[in-house]
Amino acid sequence: MENLGKAIVELEKKMFKHAELLEFEEAARVRDQIHELKDRVLL
């Protein structure tokens, strides 16, 4: 569970970096990955 939290934090950093570089498609792809991981935690 702790590793999952770290993975989510790293993906969030990656998502914000893509957004900062105006790479919105990549940011959205990473955002979707984050949502998938969070959904797994909740199920």
Using one digit for the tens of pLDDT, what is the confidence trace for 1-43?
A: 678 889 999 999 999 999 999 999 999 999 999 999 999 877 7
Domain locations in the chain? 2-42
Predicted pLDDT at 24? 98
Predicted pLDDT at 6? 92
Predicted pLDDT at 2? 78
Predicted pLDDT at 5? 85
Predicted pLDDT at 1? 65
Q: What is the dihedral of CA 30, 16, 27, 41, to 10 degrees?
A: 20
